[in-house]
């Protein structure tokens, strides 16, 4: 299923509500878009909706930021693959160690280089296109991602 939503920055909560209508909730959410499109802003809202109350920042240099949900029964993993050049770099960094962790959700910015590693997961792919005063959110649900 594909969702196509146009919203301005003040309507981002409506976009988050639509994301949370996907059943079951995806194991991996991928965020694509130009620099400044609003990927991290959307991720912050999703983390808050999932119950994370701490600071959320893009892990461009650290590759992965874990965010334990306040009840510690679930962990969000926020990853940014902008500087990753190929799939081998993800494997070398040990991305698989946590990718298969139980009770986890992954939020991945710039996933293009590593989509192969996500095969078999329930993936919601979100492309954000920055328009004049709005953003277009093209969300495609892959209940079982295959290339």
3-state helix, strand and coil shares in percent for the chain, rounded to the nearest 5:
25, 30, 40
144 versus 91: which is more confidently predicted?
Answer: 91
Distances (CA, A) of 26 to 20, 76, 92, 107: 9, 12, 25, 10
Dig out the tokens for 47 from the structure.
């983390």
| 115-129 per-position pLDDT tens digit | 999 999 999 999 999
Distances (CA, A) of 79 to 11, 63, 123, 128: 25, 5, 14, 17
How far is residue 80's CA from residue 24's CA, in Å, rounded to a whole number?
24
| 9-64 per-position pLDDT tens digit | 889 999 999 999 999 989 999 999 998 888 999 999 999 999 898 889 888 777 88
Specify the pLDDT at position 74: 87
Specify the pLDDT at position 72: 67
- Which structural domains are found in the chain, ordered by start? 2-142 (3.40.50.300)
- What are the residues whose beta carbons fall under 8 Å from the beta carbon of 10, sequence distance 6 or more? none
Compute and round to an integer the Cα radius of gyration of the chain: 14
Specify the pLDDT at position 37: 85
34 preceded by cis ω (within 30°)?
no
CA 7 to chain centre: 18
| 66-81 per-position pLDDT tens digit | 998 877 688 999 999 9
- Phi, psi angle pair for 103, to nearest 5°: 55, 50
Specify the pLDDT at position 12: 92
């Amino acid at each position: 299923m594909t969702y196509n939503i146009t919203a301005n920055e003040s309507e981002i909560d409506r976009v988050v509500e639509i994301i949370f209508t996907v059943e079951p909730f995806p194991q991996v959410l991928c965020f694509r878009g130009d620099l400044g499109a609003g990927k991290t802003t959307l991720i912050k809202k999703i983390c808050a909706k999932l119950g994370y109350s701490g600071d959320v920042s893009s892990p461009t240099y650290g590759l992965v930021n874990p965010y334990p949900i306040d009840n510690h029964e679930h962990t969000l993993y926020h990853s940014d693959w902008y500087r990753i050049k190929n799939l081998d770099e993800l494997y070398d960094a040990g991305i698989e160690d946590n990718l298969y962790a139980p009770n986890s959700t992954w939020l991945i910015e710039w996933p293009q280089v590593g989509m192969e590693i996500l095969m078999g997961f329930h993936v919601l792919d979100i492309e954000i296109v920055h328009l004049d005063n709005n953003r277009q959110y093209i969300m495609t649900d892959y209940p079982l991602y295959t290339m």
